[in-house]
Amino acid sequence: YRPQFFKENLPMVLNVADCLKNESIEQYKKEERSLIAKRLINTQKRYKQLIKCMKADYISTPTKFKQLKKELHLYTGDIAFKSTRSMGGVLNTALEFVKRNYHDLDH
């Protein structure tokens, strides 16, 4: 989630930038990613059911879907985004990326 890309979030983003140091912001990001990875690992059955349902549903326009998967590929460098076929697939790929890259933060 990148709040700075949504105009509705601008006041919050500016407030955070004024009140927190970049080091603190980066630490919060790492902690949140670690928590997401732990939740995924601890709730595999529910997570897989949710992703299966989402992969079967088209919850966005083809244009927005293509834009999101392209931008996530560019941002992460993960080529798995290129082969996604739905927003559920994009979400699955993004969460697997987080799990893969932040699984060992606490070890």
E strands present in 57-103: none
User: Quick one: pLDDT at residue 32?
Assistant: 87
- Provide the number of structural domains found in the chain: 1
pLDDT for 83 beyond 90: yes
Instruction: Please tell me the pTM assigned to this model.
Output: 0.69
Q: Tell me which residue range forms the domain holding 93.
A: 3-102
Percent of the chain with pLDDT over 90: 33
Considering the domain boundaries, does residue 56 fall inside one? yes
Residue 43 lies in a domain: yes
Question: Mind listing the pLDDT tens digit for each residue in 36-69?
Answer: 888 888 998 998 998 999 888 888 888 988 999 9
Q: What's the pLDDT at 85?
A: 92
